[in-house]
A and B are shown apart, each in its own frame.
Chain A
Amino acid sequence: MDRPRVAIFDFACCEGCQLQIVNLEEELLDLIDNVEVVEWREAMSEQSREYDIAIIEGSITRPEDEKRLEIIRTRAKTLIALGACATIGGINKLKNNFEMSDVKKCVYGKSADMPHLETMPTKAVDEVVKVDYKIHGCPIDRKEFTYVIRCLLMGKKPEIPEWPVCVECKSKGNPCLWDYGQVCLGPIIRAGCGARCPSSGFRCFGCRGYIDDPNVNGAKDVIERYGLSVDALKAKMVLFGIGQGPTNA
């Protein structure tokens, strides 16, 4: 088989997820041996127009970006949404709490009406085009990224955790942050990050998006012990996943 042609594109985001790809270091060089990277603006100057796998980082926040994404979709056999900005709209969705005119005025004052500052409510990638796979997190987990890419190279469907962060958190033996009065969203959020934040003493704020069925053991007892409810927890997702739909792909 020919090496699949891979292209990476960024939209509105912090580019931290691409940085995790760079952070793979030697493993990246190894991956690059198995694919042909035809476009990656941040790391190289060559550019191309055909690709088997398109990796999309960032949220869609302008009409012209919607068009650009649609064109990329027509040229790509497989499309992957990379990171929370792409999978659930990420932090960029905080903008949707406000009127666009107010947001522009707040940041650009009297210049707010300049045409190049035009903006629209933030969309996740799958609100614009069909997404084949999602790699969750803000930023993504490097290991999960290589796992998904390797699965695709082998023609396998990657399996992404369908259980909550609490499961990983408990298996690490962390004390529960609810005991310390922190509003931790672990019970409703999709695992796969190794309970990154609670393991550092910081509440899970939901960057991987919520799981579709949080009622599994591991989360259930946390919910019971602290008298929580799934709906009340969802209401506390004020940083990530505002107005979020299902996250499985």
Chain B
Amino acid sequence: MHNNLDINVHHITRVEGHGNIVVNVKEGKIEKLQWQVPEAPRFFEAMVRGHSYQDIQTIVSRICGICSITHSLAATKAVEAALGIKVSEQADKLRILMHYSEQLQSHTLHVGYLAAPDFFGTPSVVPLVARAADAVKTIVKAHRIANNWSDLIAGRTTHPVTLIPGGLTRTPTEKQLRQLQQTLKDAVPDLKKIAEVVLSVAANIPKFERPTEYVSLKQTTPPTYTFYHGGVTSNDNKGAVLPIEKWHDVANEYMVEQSTAKWAKWHRDAYAVGALARFNNNAELLSPMAKDAAKMFGLQKDCCNPYMNTVAQLVECFHIVETSIDLIDQLLVRGLKTEKVTSSPKAGKGAGCVEAPRGILFHEYEFDKNGKCVAADICIPTNQNHANIQKDFEKLLPEILDQSEKDIRLKLEMLVRAYDPCISCSTHFLDVQFVR
């Protein structure tokens, strides 16, 4: 047991953005234990004001490089809701396919490059090349497949340039989709290999549990393990689904002094979003291979070990690939058509919601009759996890206080990394309750 302990992790590494961990233990008593987010706020909700409804997704895509496609999709859905713009079935399916590509990009990046070094006990992925060359090569390959996939549908891997209100600027050819489908089929053995490597070090995933509220999208018609359509649900909401227009009832944001980012709560004092939340709310709807992968790791519904979020991401990789193979079949059977997209300005207000790789994401905009943005409200997943990370810290630290300082530090850092936070995007808006 430590009588005195002083840990100050300034700018935690291997996460997107900046976050600090402060631990202060005096004479066996925890005096200070904080998850702090001091990232420079970027003020997107203020910056979009005055801009055309056609430029919103191009601006807010820059909230986060890792979830740029997701932000663009949420914004585009919100703009379309506000202006009453309809999207064709083909464009809808292509967008879902585009969205999956980013989920796979982000999940392989997080599992392979950012979290795996923890499981192997190396400071970065670079020394891993020497220790597990084959595994790293397979991860690199999977990551590149995801990148090329985004290139094809979104015009590039980061900050899409094919997405416009009403549809897409370009349609891939049937040949390109067939090639993509083959690539995805060929990627299945690679995913299995990655899963086996992670399983071989799964003993290093800390055993820690804290029941909390898990919030995610849920789609009932047809029942789907959704990232894109549907409404909001949670285990505390007894499976009931809220329409996304009501998202303010879910994400009750408030300010705390240790953070430039806002925190959020719904039924309890904190909730979690992300792969584990999606899994806990929708696991029965996963694809067969994804279910097998979950079984491999003993991951079951109602899991409340936050470190298992990384495993849930891996499970989702299988679902994404298997579901996309099927989605491409659906597109090919219908036959691809070149679609002309038009839209015109109108006054209105609308919300859009999708699952980012790291959890549920809300966008809302209001436009004047010329289609100029007059107000915006964005609530990103990492903000929704901050309070939950703090609560995890408060339960975890007393449980591990007898371990070495190095281990304590590592476990706290790993916990933050398990949430896969992209803090660069988490500094933003709210109607404020000031908490001191």
Contact = CB atoms under 8 A, between A and B. Distances in A.
Interface of A: 10-20, 22-23, 25-26, 29, 32, 37, 40-47, 61-62, 65, 90-92, 94-95, 97-98, 102-104, 106-111, 114, 116-117, 119, 138-139, 196-197, 199-202, 205, 238-239
B65 A16 contact: yes
Nearest to B124: A44
B162 A14 contact: no
B63 A14 contact: yes
Which one of B17, B59, B162, B169 has the greatest number of beta carbons of chain A within 10 Å?
B169
Interface stretch (B230-238, B384-392, B421-429): B421-429
Contacts of A29: 126, 129
Contacts of A26: 140
19 contacts: A14-B424, A15-B16, A16-B64, A19-B66, A20-B157, A23-B143, A25-B144, A41-B11, A44-B13, A61-B40, A62-B40, A92-B47, A95-B42, A104-B43, A106-B43, A111-B434, A116-B260, A205-B55, A239-B58
Given A25-B144, A45-B13, A197 B161 contact: yes
Contacts of B123: 44-46
Given A44-B124, A61-B40, A197-B161, A19 B65 contact: yes
Contacts of B162: 200-202
Contacts of A199: 155
Q: Mostly helix, strand, loop or mixed at chain B's interface?
A: loop
A95 B47 contact: yes
A16 B46 contact: no
B165 interface: no
Contacts of B63: 14
Contacts of B113: 22, 43
B62 A138 contact: yes
Given A14-B65, A65-B40, A201 B169 contact: yes
Contacts of A238: 51, 55
Given A42-B16, A43-B126, A47-B13, 16 more contacts: A12-B40, A13-B65, A17-B65, A25-B143, A41-B11, A45-B123, A92-B42, A97-B50, A103-B43, A107-B44, A107-B429, A117-B41, A119-B40, A139-B65, A200-B162, A201-B170
Which one of A29, A43, A61, A107 has the greatest number of beta carbons of chain B within 10 Å?
A107
Interface residues of B, number: 62
B161 A202 contact: yes
Interface in B363-396: none
A107 B17 contact: no
A119 B40 CA distance: 8
Contacts of B43: 95, 103-104, 106-107, 119
B424 A108 contact: no
Interface in B34-55: 38, 40-51, 55
B47 A94 contact: yes
Contacts of B308: none
Contacts of A61: 40, 42
Contacts of A12: 40, 42
